[in-house]
Chain A
């Protein structure tokens, strides 16, 4: 059972565009939602994270929007650059029993063309 569904699988945007990556979760116990960026040959790097008590969080060009009632959250990348070309993963974790793990989406491969 895939607990975090991520879409699209791949995305191509032009430089300056705003790619949007969406994730949906099933487990209402999830209460921490990070996004990771991964370049080929590297480990995932934490980009930004949100908790369900806020609906939006911005860090630089990256914004997370969170809709608790719909159990969805999304990543927006403003003014995208070719250097943003990477694979992006959403994830979720929960407090309480079994809380010491991240459940990941399948990833979105983003290509930003000049």
Chain B
């Protein structure tokens, strides 16, 4: 069974640009969550989607957005990139998202210069 797939693995962007990251969940999983991982702040929740609906959002500015498609694949977008957005962005999938096993992808390493 294929795991969670995130693309691309690495990205280098310039301040002010925007970026889109993609996540394909495990087959059959309908919940996709996104997390930002940095050395200083650790793993922080961005948002969660289920059946194309955002059910929960973390404490991040509106520059961070996401969406989910009918096949459960998800994308997250960051507009007007700042240096502080440099991080590992992780996607996790689970069956329902509610207190069930969540499986992470390898992440997308975003560097903003």
| Interface set of A (CB-CB < 8 Å, partner B) | 31-32, 34, 36, 41-46, 49, 51, 89, 91, 93-95, 98-107
Task: Contacts A95-B98, A105-B42 given; indicate if A100 touches B55 (C-beta within 8 A).
Answer: yes
Classify chain B: how many residues form its interface, as a range.
20 to 34
Residue of A nearest to B107 (CB): A43
Known: A42-B106, A100-B98. 12 other contacts (CB 8 A): A43-B104, A44-B43, A49-B101, A93-B99, A99-B56, A100-B56, A101-B45, A101-B48, A101-B56, A103-B45, A104-B35, A105-B42
Task: From the candidates A32, A42, A107, name the one contacting B42 in the complex (CB within 8 A).
Answer: A107
What does DSSP make chain B's interface, helix, strand, loop or mixed?
strand
Residue of B nearest to A91 (CB): B43
Chain A residues near B4: list those with CB within 8 A.
43
Residue of B nearest to A31 (CB): B99
Interface residues of B in 24-55 (CB under 8 A from A): 31, 33, 35, 42-45, 48, 50, 55
Residue of A nearest to B42 (CB): A106
Complex Cα spacing A95 to B97, Å: 10
B103 contacts chain A at the CB level, 8 A cutoff? yes
Residue of B nearest to A89 (CB): B43
Task: From the candidates B6, B43, B106, name the one contacting A104 in the complex (CB within 8 A).
Answer: B43
B102 contacts chain A at the CB level, 8 A cutoff? yes
Min Cβ gap A35→B in Å is 12
Task: From the candidates A45, A102, A107, name the one contacting B45 in the complex (CB within 8 A).
Answer: A102
